[in-house]
Amino acid sequence: MTTSPLPRRSLLRGGVAGGLGIVVAGSLEAIAGPAAARPACRPAVGYGDLVPDPAGLLALPPGFSYTVVAQAGATLLESGQPTPSDADGTGCFRGPHGSVLVNNHEIGGDEPYPVPALSGLTYDPGARGGTTTIEVDKHGRRLREYVSVAGTHNNCAGGITPWGTWLTCEETEQRAGGRFLKDHGYVFEVDPHDRSANTDPVPLTFLGRYSHEAVAVDPYTHSIYLTEDASGPNGLYFRWTPPPGFRAGKGALRALAQRPDGATAGSLAAMRCLRGDGHVADLSEATTPGTRYRVEWVEVPDRDARTVSVRKQFTDDEVTRSRKLEGAWWGDGGAYFVASYARLDDGSTNEHDGQVWFYDPRRQTVTLKTIFGVNTDPEADDGNYDGPDNITVSPYGGVILAEDGEGVSHLVGVTEQGKAYPLARNELNDSEFTGPTFSADGKTLFANIQSPGYVFAITGPWGRPSNAHR
């Protein structure tokens, strides 16, 4: 999930090989590294060894199966156009017949199937991204699909709100000019049930204009935590605090953005981590699961980045940066977020192939839960995972990560005891997995292969995954 002209997989091939030490330090605190390290921390069985798929799409554990919900260029929208390309972050909501999915489309260039620029639903007719809404029955079978927001740019991930909407994020800093009639780099709210609420899309400018990746919303304070996927310099982790008197609910964020002072409503601040009294310049400094930093928040001077990108408005001693900040999800009383990888030549202090962090708003701390060492053999399918991206918290314990790295792509589970296991394998190509999210009843996991663009419903004998070694 990057706007860089070099794809993620090409970037990793330029990385320096090397691993991190193996440490197991409690809940979700594990590390999976290169082949030399794996005997000390082998992957858990999870739900069992993956079974190859005769259809050549998804390998799943025994007893699991999948349904193709939508396919870019093949299935059709209600308006008659094909399902758009590049399915990415996805929100799942309880629906009248089963579930309702809001599916991002990370379209930023000449992808073959744009989100149709339908009247009343289009922010900028010069942009080709957006979201589609897919209604499915209780078995995950597609009932209908339609455009919910159009005319946005490079819709990457996002997040579910406590009041039952989806926040879709533009991963870009594109300004108006050429085919683009408006500035981009914003967050938009999408109602999965009320189509009229999505007319005339309104950017939530108070959340800042930068390369948004994902969000997690505190259901108690309604603070919003946001990741930034950017480089040169590396990105930041943000918190938006609502203004006094703000009453959260459907339409409240849109109404706030439309106020005369909407662009500066509430407080947007960047994270600064400290070890004792010492400043932590980059999250890659942490190499041991269980590492915990104290957090302070530094106000963003110009959140709309009128002259300078938001991340460039700070010096390195004012904030804590990270390469490839990606997925986010609220769970266990705090915000999980992912750093996909780090390399010395991108400004990182240490190298890794993925970190999972947890921000505790009550303690004002951030803790490293899981870290993956640099994958020296990405073509081998042997528990050597890399490049975690989207994340969801599993109702059966632990988290599910969408792999966006080198070589073979997986949905990777991490148990509460910190053991990694394969949940699914892309048998079609090496495209990334995106958008893992469970149905409200926990019986179906929805997930996507971004290219050529599949949306899947995965069912099976769910339960707490095993921690036994192979």
For 251, left (φ over 0), alpha (ψ -120 to 50), or beta?
Answer: left
Total count of domains within the chain: 1
**Integer Cα distance of 470 and 454 in angstroms:** 31
Q: β-pairing, 365-372 with 30-32?
A: parallel
Indicate whether 408 belongs to any domain.
Answer: yes
| The two three-digit tokens of residue 66, written as one number | 């999948």
pTM of the full structure? 0.92
From the CA atom positions of the chain, what is the Rg in Å?
Answer: 20
**Residue 301: exposed, middle, or buried by beta-carbon count in 10 A (0-12, 13-18, 19+)?**
exposed
Tell me if residue 206 falls in helix, strand or coil: helix
Residue 53 belongs to some domain of the structure: yes
- Which two tokens mark 38? 């794996």
- Within-domain flag for 273: no
Query: Is the previous residue joined to 465 through a cis bond, with omega within 30 degrees of 0?
Result: no
Domain assignment of residue 405, yes or no: yes
Single out the residue of 61, 71, 390 nearest to residue 216, CA to CA: 390
> Domain range for residue 433?
26-72+375-470
Q: DSSP state, 41?
A: S
Say if 176 falls within a structural domain.
Answer: no
Place of tokens 């209908």: 144
Report yes or no on 285 lying in a domain: no
Contacts (Cβ under 8 Å, ≥6 apart) of 448: 87, 88, 90, 103, 433, 434, 435, 454, 455, 456
* CA distances (Å), origin 94, targets 70, 164, 227, 347, 391: 18, 9, 26, 43, 20
**Is residue 62 assigned to a domain?**
yes
Instruction: Could you list the beta-strand ranges (E) of 155-204.
Output: 155-160, 166-170, 187-190
The pLDDT profile of the chain, 470 residues, written as one tens digit per residue, is: 443 332 333 222 233 222 222 222 233 444 444 332 333 333 447 999 999 999 999 999 999 999 999 999 999 999 999 999 999 999 999 999 999 999 999 999 999 999 999 999 999 999 999 999 999 999 999 999 999 999 999 999 999 999 999 999 999 999 999 999 999 999 999 999 999 999 999 999 999 999 999 999 999 999 999 999 999 999 999 999 999 999 999 999 999 999 999 999 999 999 999 999 999 999 999 999 999 999 999 999 999 999 999 999 999 999 999 999 999 999 999 999 999 999 999 999 999 999 999 999 999 999 999 999 999 888 888 888 999 999 999 999 999 999 998 889 999 999 988 889 999 999 999 999 999 999 999 999 999 999 999 999 999 999 999 987 54
| In-domain check, residue 9 | no
